[in-house]
């Protein structure tokens, strides 16, 4: 096992898959000569050349459409959006074509494309560059949406996303690139659509993903020092959403807090809470609490931005309110 950053894990997955399959190529703004906005593809241009590492115009509509068309014609493109905020410009290609072409052609055609997009706030990038619109994309059947929180999951899930025949939106939280974790040195994949228990506990279930998962783990660590045993479940995948481990944990603890960086209204947490009510009502001992970003455009000011985002203290307060 190697101890590496999330950035390195994603980079390794891309490089290994490009060596494994010559139909895999990368396209996006500044992915080539510059090496990617977050340095994920640094050195790829020299290693694989301009045919397989393509710098594109500043047009997400073109990136989304060209990638979807290339996938429909037998290639396996990995299209990088500089931030997930810009993916709105490619929404038609992603949810109206890539996500539906298999259905529309009666199973005769597929679009095995991976859309990579950094998301989330916390980097002081202003309101239009700091969205967490994961629920918007997860709303549409046909498009798989995943957002890993650890280097192990990031590498394994990205390799799986590249290999399967479905379109995948692979969301990388912009503040997690420096997170370190153990990653096997050999080839492996992590299935999409499978939640994972990251910490065992008995008193309460904390559910999260991406940055929300990391905050949930920090909260659970502090709660443990106060005698409160929290079980932490990582959703990892937003579509398909695997509620099995969540419900099983809820049946053990009878209480739950859901942590997400998106807005509370119409969000991922809303869906998880509704599913828990439907599938685990008989085990519910307290109202399900949700911890989410405050519903304002994220401020540019670092102090104000941090006040609007989720944090460990808010999760701990929610847990104690229930208990």
| Active site members | 60, 129
Residue whose structure tokens are 């990038």: 125
Cα 7 to Cα 15: distance, rounded to the nearest angstrom: 12
Distances (CA, A) of 316 to 61, 79, 191, 229, 232: 42, 38, 31, 12, 13
Residue whose structure tokens are 């290999």: 163
Cα 48 to Cα 46: distance, rounded to the nearest angstrom: 6
24's CB contacts (< 8 A; 6+ apart) are: 17, 18, 52, 75, 76, 77, 78, 162
Cα 130 to Cα 124: distance, rounded to the nearest angstrom: 8
256-263/289-293 β-pairing: parallel
37 CA to centre of own chain: 18
Q: 235: closest CA among 267, 263, 265? A: 267
Other beta carbons less than 10 A from residue 33's beta carbon: 10
Side-chain-side CA neighbours of residue 277 (13 Å): 10
- 75: burial class by Cβ within 10 Å (0-12, 13-18, 19+)? middle
Cα 257 to Cα 68: distance, rounded to the nearest angstrom: 38
Q: What are phi and psi of 291, to 5 degrees?
A: -115, 120
């Amino acid at each position: 096992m190697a101890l590496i950053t999330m950035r390195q894990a994603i980079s390794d997955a891309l490089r290994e898959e490009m060596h494994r399959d010559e139909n895999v190529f990368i396209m996006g703004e500044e992915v080539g000569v510059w090496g990617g906005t977050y340095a994920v593809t640094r050195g790829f241009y020299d290693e694989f050349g301009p045919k397989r590492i393509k710098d594109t115009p500043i047009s997400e509509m073109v990136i989304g459409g060209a990638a979807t068309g290339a996938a429909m014609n037998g290639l396996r493109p990995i299209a990088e959006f500089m931030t997930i905020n810009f993916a709105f410009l490619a929404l038609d290609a992603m949810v109206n074509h890539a996500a539906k072409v298999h259905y529309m052609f009666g199973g005769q055609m597929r679009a095995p494309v991976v859309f990579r997009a950094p998301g989330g706030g916390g980097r002081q990038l202003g309101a239009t560059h700091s969205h967490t619109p994961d629920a918007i994309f997860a709303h549409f059947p046909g498009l798989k949406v995943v957002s890993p929180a650890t280097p192990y999951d990031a590498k394994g899930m990205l390799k799986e996303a590249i290999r399967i025949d479905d379109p995948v939106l692979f969301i990388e939280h912009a503040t997690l690139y420096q997170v370190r974790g153990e990653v096997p040195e050999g080839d492996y994949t992590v299935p999409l659509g499978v939640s994972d228990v990251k910490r065992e506990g008995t008193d309460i279930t904390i559910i999260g993903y991406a940055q929300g998962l990391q905050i949930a783990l920090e909260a659970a660590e502090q709660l443990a020092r106060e005698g409160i045993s929290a079980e932490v479940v990582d959703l990892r995948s937003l579509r398909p959403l695997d509620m099995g481990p969540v419900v099983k944990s809820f049946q053990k603890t009878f209480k739950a807090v859901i942590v997400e960086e998106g807005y509370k209204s119409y969000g991922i947490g809303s869906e998880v809470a509704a599913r828990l009510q439907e599938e685990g009502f008989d085990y519910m001992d307290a109202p399900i609490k949700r911890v989410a970003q405050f519903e304002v455009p994220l401020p540019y000011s670092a102090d104000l931005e941090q006040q609007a985002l989720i944090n460990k203290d808010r999760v701990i307060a929610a847990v104690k309110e229930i208990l």
